[in-house]
Chain A
Amino acid sequence: MEEVAARFPFWMIGALLGVGVWGMLGKRSLVKKLIGLNIFQSAIILFFIVGSMHTGATVPILWHGQHNPHAEDFVNPLPHVLMLTAIVVSVAITAVALAFMVRLHRAFGDLDEERILDELRR
């Protein structure tokens, strides 16, 4: 139990990844698939952030106008910057997917995967 508690954020991220995959595979609605994808991506972003966590450290800026020579006093800012980029990518993908959905709804009058497939087979 202690083991689980110590790694709680990682179990949480694993669970989020699972929820995301379940949303994408198990749901028929295209909207819910997209939500699943978003949860999946958010879990990966959280993984980067949790992984770069550093207890007792602070933001990497100048300290009273001085350089602090001790690297262990600071959080590595790189993962956070990377994740800003990853968030931008994920927003762009969400936007494109939503645009597809608007067009799909216009073409089929529906966003249910099975019914769209039936319509296409006809």
Chain B
Amino acid sequence: MEHLPILIPLPLLAASLVVPLAGLWAPRAVFPLSVAAIALSAAMSALALAEVVAEGEALRYTLGGWAPPIGIEYVVDHVSAFVAAVITSVALMVVVAARRAAAREAAGRRGLFYALVLLLLAGLTGMVVTGDLFNVFVFMEISSLAAYALVSLGGRAGMFAAYRYLILGTVGGSFYLLGVAFLYFTTGTLNIADTARLLAETEPNISVAVGAAFIFAGLGVKMALIPLHLWLPDAYTFAPSSVNSLIAPIMTKVGAYVMVRMFLSVFPEGYLTEEVPVSQALIALGLAGSVYGAYAAMGQRDLRRMLAYSSVSQLGLLAVGIGIATPLGLAAALLHVMNHALMKGALFLVAMSMRMGAGVSDVRMLAGVGRRMPVTSSVFAVGAVAMVGIPPTAGFFSKWYLSIAAIDEGLWFVLAVVLASSLLSAVYLFRVIERLYLAPAPVIAGGADDGSESDAAASAQDGGVRESPLDVTLPMALLALAAIVLGVLNVVVMERVLEPGL
């Protein structure tokens, strides 16, 4: 399977061309085609991950047979195979679960909707597998453009949020490009492996330092690092449910992945910690973000907005892990990429399911929903517990490794801030759980549906609140289950996948 690296983004890219045509002539084929493409890409990522772990070395693929550094090279190593597998499988679950919501929200334009979804994923997987700095920029802009268009489907508020997201996101992309320009004029190459080799040979100079600063500022916008997060809350709140449950778990994570890549493969070891204070900035901003995000989330009434601020908080922790920059710190950050993708995917799907089933996304209106939407509510409970970081869920272990990495470096205050942000998370998440399960229902209690009933089961006396159908609850439950199972199996992930790659 020498073609494995390119087979990760290619099915998505090819399907994004076919799906709009299918939308015109055979609208029924759109959804199966899209899911098949994502499933194929996920299978290829899993295969690549298995092969990299078995072989112990990276898979390299030269595009068009042009040998690097002249041609573009795709490199799948432990880290990129891991991230590709995580984002494609979470995306698969979310796209399957969001079928009904998408059918409603993109009525009549389903072909174009799924084409955008596939382009988004093609861009994200492309960013992960490529071994070329400029190629990262191109894929980043492909995925961002698709994301702007998807967010704009959320009515007029969504449109305005998308416009702001476009301006800020493009500035981020441009900053990245400007940073790459500085590196290119220093080294004369764009290939990541070649850049690393040449940067290790050059004396530290101002040009490389400015380049690093611009690259990280640009990536900071893409991963919503405070204070560059301003696009995120509105974009996640006003985007259609089918879109925010897809964008929230995976999009910012790929920005974080590119940051990890910069630390691992581009700049010489120690350069970003000692020569340029990128690490210190990431730790400081990450800690500020993790507390600010959790604090802002406490004050939100809208479930989706609360989850959006919670993302700002969790991404802050991710940035801290990257900023610590020891192998353990980076491993903790990457483990958190997976855990947060699973948890946020599940939680945003819960928000979608509640909007469909109960018709509300205001936290105060959720009283008593726990009994009527048992599966959705228990997924929320698992996701919330994992987000706070209670063992044995996945969220606990990434915070655990993060804390150990911080203590190893003597950064004791990191421990205090992580603890504080976890406690704040507990406040806003358990408030919702209390609403769901303990608060008295405002209307007469009705019987809980068994979860497999379709739309027909609505009855007047339970206020129309009913559990979502199985095709929504099953992927959601699988994500929540994965958050527990991968939490228990975190040692396997760490030892087999992350540690050999760092």
Contact = CB atoms under 8 A, between A and B. Distances in A.
Contact of A93 (B141, B156, B181, B188): B141
A78 B162 CA distance: 33
Interface residues on A, range: 20 to 34
Contacts of B156: 103-104, 107-108, 120
Nearest to A104: B159
A19 interface: no
A35 B190 CA distance: 29
Interface stretch (B14-22, B164-172, B351-359, B400-408): B164-172
A64 B162 CA distance: 53
Interface residues of B, number: 27
A58 B170 CA distance: 34
Contacts of B170: 37, 41, 93
B174 interface: yes
Given A82-B134, A108-B156, A89 B171 contact: no
B157 A37 contact: no
A24 B166 contact: no
Contacts of A104: 156, 159-160, 163
B388 interface: no
Contacts of B163: 30, 97, 100-101, 104
B177 interface: yes
12 contacts: A24-B167, A33-B167, A44-B174, A76-B188, A79-B184, A82-B134, A96-B148, A97-B163, A101-B163, A103-B159, A120-B156, A120-B157
A97 B164 CA distance: 10
Contacts of B181: 44, 47-48, 51
Nearest to B169: A93
3 A-B pairs closest in CB distance: A107-B156, A89-B141, A100-B163
Interface string B278-318: 00000000000000000000000000000000000000000
Interface string A19-60: 000001000001001100100110010011001100000000
A37 B159 contact: no
A100 B162 contact: yes
B152 A103 contact: yes
Given A79-B184, A89-B141, A96 B166 contact: yes
Interface of A: 24, 30, 33-34, 37, 40-41, 44, 47-48, 51-52, 76, 78-79, 82, 85-86, 89, 92-93, 96-97, 100-101, 103-104, 107-108, 116, 120
B117 interface: no
Contact of B159 (A40, A82, A89, A107): A107
Contacts of A52: 185
Interface of B: 134, 137-138, 141, 145, 148-149, 152, 156-157, 159-160, 162-163, 166-167, 170-171, 173-174, 177-178, 181, 184-185, 188, 190
Contacts of B185: 51-52
Contacts of B141: 89, 92-93
Contacts of B167: 24, 33-34, 37, 97
A86 B148 CA distance: 18
A65 B150 CA distance: 51
Given A79-B184, A89-B138, A116-B160, A96 B149 contact: yes
B145 A40 contact: no
A101 B166 CA distance: 12
Q: Among the interface residues A44, A85, A89, A92, which one has the most CB atoms of the partner chain B within 10 A?
A: A89
A89 B177 CA distance: 12
A96 B156 CA distance: 15
B26 to A, nearest CB: 27
A17 to B, nearest CB: 8
A30 to B, nearest CB: 6
A97 B138 CA distance: 18
A40 B166 contact: no
A37 B173 CA distance: 11
A103 B138 CA distance: 27
User: Of residues A34, A37, A82, A100, which shows the largest number of chain B Cβ atoms within 10 Å of its Cβ?
Assistant: A100
B159 A93 contact: no
Given A37-B171, A44-B174, A107-B156, 19 more contacts: A24-B171, A30-B163, A41-B170, A44-B178, A51-B185, A76-B188, A85-B134, A85-B138, A93-B141, A93-B166, A96-B145, A96-B148, A97-B166, A100-B152, A100-B162, A100-B166, A103-B152, A107-B159, A108-B156
Contacts of A34: 167
B217 to A, nearest CB: 12
A93 B145 contact: yes
B162 A41 contact: no
